[in-house]
Amino acid sequence: MQLTIQQADLAFAVGRALGSVSSKSPLPLLSCILLEAEAGSLRITGTDLDVTTAVTVPCTVATPGRVAVSARHFNEVVRKMPRGPLVLSVTGGQCEVRYGDGKGWSKFPIQDAADFPRIPDLKADTRVSLGGDVLSRMVARTIFSASSEETRPMLNGVLVQGGDKQAVFVATDGHRLSKATRKGAFSGLAKDGVIVPTRAFQTVSRIAEEATSPVELQVAGARNQAAFTAQVGEYRVQVLTRLLEGPYPNYEQVIPRGNPREMRVRRSDLMEAVDIVASHADNVTRQVRFSLRPGRIGVSSATELGAGEHQLDAQYAGEAMEIGYNAGYLMEILRSIPTEEVVFRLNTSLAAGVIEPVGALPEAEEEMLCLIMPLRLPDAAG
């Protein structure tokens, strides 16, 4: 194998592929990346068997071939090499990279590429495409609510549903839920959708941000696999992932429609209040107390660490009410909403509350909604 490639191109490909290499894999080959050279391009693949990233970059190939090298080490060295053309070749059981027009070289031990896990070709039965910015926003608005609990694996990801009217992203861990929608025809994707693992979406959303083309999502339903493919300038990046097996819980059923009490508040004011007060909260339960009164709310907490209370103006006309929340959940939700004001739609102090932006989102075709389950306060009835 021998080829000539620009340092920037190689560094990009190696860096992205490394994103899917597990840092503590028991199999040495999984801490490697696979380099495959063929007619005018080099493809670099990293995988941890669940998520695979493959990046194809242009180059001049003299002799095609395949080789596996240690991901982290190769990345570290290539990254530091000077810009300009590099000559990469495999000789005598080593992978050699020459740089700076003969100024220097590095050699890397190689692994037998034949042992590298075979990444199956995706036999897609459906495909849909989404703008890179849209995808990364929808992921950012939902992914934080996904669960990391191993006992309910279907919640360790984001549900992605299509249809001819809208695309819907949903994540929940059973304590909170977030839902983002975008209007438009996404009929390539089924209405009941697929569950994309959190880890895959972390990788995908980074690529979606820098993508210069729409991101194409292909699903092979029968094999429970999906691929996200996008162009980043001249580079083609593909993230392959196993999908999580459902069934996903029926989330529509738990979104309350007619919550009677409405509280509107400036988002930044509320975040400030929760942030300060939560410093006194129990560092495990993160419990803060909301005291709703007409025209204002109080946020407070008291533990052996200390106590604090913060009053802020709010539009609230309902009766006085005390309700407990996990400050961590609340902050993540508030952070995900882009509007200046947010509205809480509440029922009882034990029932699910809806938190939504007030007014339209910056992108007119998009909507979002979050649910949060309260903490039952010790002094609450029941």
Please state the closest distance from residue 245 (CB atom) to another protein, in A.
6
Looking at residues 203 to 242 of the shown chain, list those that interact with another protein (rule: CB under 8 A): none
Q: Is there binding between residue 151 and another protein (CB under 8 A)?
A: yes
Q: Which is nearer to another protein, 68 or 128 (CB)?
A: 68
Give the residue, chosen from 121, 149, 234, 340, that forms a contact with another protein under the rule CB under 8 A: 149
Q: Which is nearer to another protein, 79 or 264 (CB)?
A: 79
Q: Is there binding between residue 19 and another protein (CB under 8 A)?
A: yes
Give the residue, chosen from 168, 352, 354, 355, that forms a contact with another protein under the rule CB under 8 A: 352
Tell me how long the chain is. 382
Other C-beta atoms within 10 Å of 319: how many? 9
DSSP string, 151-165: T-GGGSEEEEE-BSS
DSSP-derived pairing of the beta strands 104-111 and 94-99? antiparallel
Give the residue, chosen from 96, 133, 209, 282, that forms a contact with another protein under the rule CB under 8 A: 282
The answer to whether 377 and 282 have CB atoms below 8 angstroms apart is no
Q: Which is nearer to another protein, 16 or 137 (CB)?
A: 16
Stretch that binds another protein, among 185-193, 257-265, 270-278, 284-292 (CB under 8 A): 284-292
Q: Which is nearer to another protein, 83 or 165 (CB)?
A: 83
CA 151 to chain centre: 20
Q: How wide is the angle at C-alpha 154 spanned by C-alphas 153 and 159, nearest 5°?
A: 145
Give the residue, chosen from 284, 317, 320, 364, that forms a contact with another protein under the rule CB under 8 A: 284
How far is the CA of 378 from the CAs of 177, 302, 314, in angstroms? 24, 13, 25
The answer to whether 208 and 110 have CB atoms below 8 angstroms apart is no
Looking at residues 35 to 64 of the shown chain, list those that interact with another protein (rule: CB under 8 A): none
Q: Is there binding between residue 94 and another protein (CB under 8 A)?
A: yes
Interatomic CA distance for residues 147 and 176, integer angstroms: 10
Q: Please tell me the count of residues contacting another protein according to CB under 8 A.
A: 53
DSSP-derived pairing of the beta strands 2-6 and 60-63? antiparallel
Please state the closest distance from residue 254 (CB atom) to another protein, in A.
5
Q: What are phi and psi of 114, to 5 degrees?
A: -65, -25
Q: Which is nearer to another protein, 130 or 288 (CB)?
A: 288
Give the residue, chosen from 128, 138, 143, 177, that forms a contact with another protein under the rule CB under 8 A: 177
Please state the closest distance from residue 45 (CB atom) to another protein, in A.
14
In terms of Cβ atoms closer than 10 Å to its own Cβ (0-12, 13-18, 19+), residue 268 is exposed
Interatomic CA distance for residues 107 and 130, integer angstroms: 41
73: DSSP letter: H
Please state the closest distance from residue 155 (CB atom) to another protein, in A.
9
Q: If phi over 0 gives left and psi between -120 and 50 gives alpha, with beta otherwise, what is residue 75?
A: alpha
Interatomic CA distance for residues 309 and 277, integer angstroms: 6
Please state the closest distance from residue 286 (CB atom) to another protein, in A.
8
Give the residue, chosen from 150, 258, 364, 381, that forms a contact with another protein under the rule CB under 8 A: 150
Token duo for residue 347: 């029922």
Q: Is there binding between residue 16 and another protein (CB under 8 A)?
A: yes
Stretch that binds another protein, among 25-33, 136-144, 184-192, 335-343 (CB under 8 A): 25-33
Q: Which is nearer to another protein, 123 or 376 (CB)?
A: 376
DSSP-derived pairing of the beta strands 287-293 and 296-303? antiparallel
Looking at residues 248 to 267 of the shown chain, list those that interact with another protein (rule: CB under 8 A): 249, 254
Which residue intervals of 233-359 are DSSP H helices? 267-278, 327-336
Please state the closest distance from residue 94 (CB atom) to another protein, in A.
7
Query: Which residues, listed in sequence order, are joined to residue 241 by a DSSP beta bridge?
Result: 51, 226
Q: Which is nearer to another protein, 160 or 373 (CB)?
A: 373
Please state the closest distance from residue 171 (CB atom) to another protein, in A.
12
Q: Under the rule (CB under 8 A), what is the footprint of another protein?
A: 11-12, 14-19, 23, 26-28, 70, 75, 79-80, 93-94, 109, 111, 149-154, 172, 174-177, 245, 249, 254, 282-287, 324, 326, 350-352, 371, 373-378, 382
